[in-house]
Amino acid sequence: MVVEVLYALIVANSSARRAGNNWRSLEIQKVSQVISTQNWRKVGALEAVIVDLDGTMVDTMGDFEAALNLMLAELTLPGIGRTLIEQLVGKGSEHLIRSVLTQVMAVGDTQAQSVVIDQCIPDAWASYQRHYLAINGSRSEVYPGVVEGLTHLRTRGLKLACLTNKPTAFAKPLLEAKGLMGYFDWVFGGDAFERKKPDPLPLLKTCEVLGVMPARTLMLGDSSNDAQAARAAGCPVVLVTYGYNHGDPVLQVDADAWIDRLDDFLGLI
């Protein structure tokens, strides 16, 4: 019930802004106070941390590059380079596949290209899924400081959830393969909820499952997707300075703090 009320008020807030209404109503102010993130660094203020996966805990670019290029070869399409892939990941596999096809298929006007891509999507998705599941984790590495950081968060007694836009069928085996699964109370992929980050709904739903208010739940990620979702949900947010962030400078993203390693977070709380 709490998550539905918060989400409805967030949407109402956004609609009121667009309509030019006095969106700073008493109700919105009350909710803003409830989900204020200003005091998250105080001792005991945090009860839970939601952690992103790709680009935050694990460098999975090698997996993406291999699976996508095997998919493209199977479709007799040109390959794609790692630099461009880094700009496209982060919004879920469906978005990634469509974006990759858009990059490699030069088909007349935009409308014609869209039609051709729509026709290719079923075969592309089936191929990508098969190759990614076979490769998953074999060409990826856990970032330095991740194990130490997660271990300390667990020692502090914080509840931990992994929330990623990656499909659950990809996320859980990857965490298992890298020895990270045991740190998390819950793991939610991009198909776990009706919408993906940067929509706030996945964070609100995860907070509800954890039994912790958003203001006491920190989002730890690597991109604007994580930051925008956290801001809208009322969660404080810390971003790592590595990762992908769609090719844009992460220090320009609205966040509460930035860290070079996951275990650097320990100095913030």
Catalytic residues: 52
The vertex-240 CA angle with 235 and 242, nearest 5°, equals 150
* 3 state DSSP class of 257: strand
Q: DSSP string of 156-206? A: TT-EEEEE-SS-HHHHHHHHHHTT-GGG-SEEE-TTSSSS-TTSSHHHHHH
Residue showing tokens 């006095």 = 22
- Which residues on adjacent β-strands are paired with residue 159? 48
Q: 244: which residues sit within 8 A by CB, 6+ positions away?
A: 54, 55, 61, 86, 87, 89, 90, 222, 223
Distance (Å, whole) CA 269 – CA 259 = 13
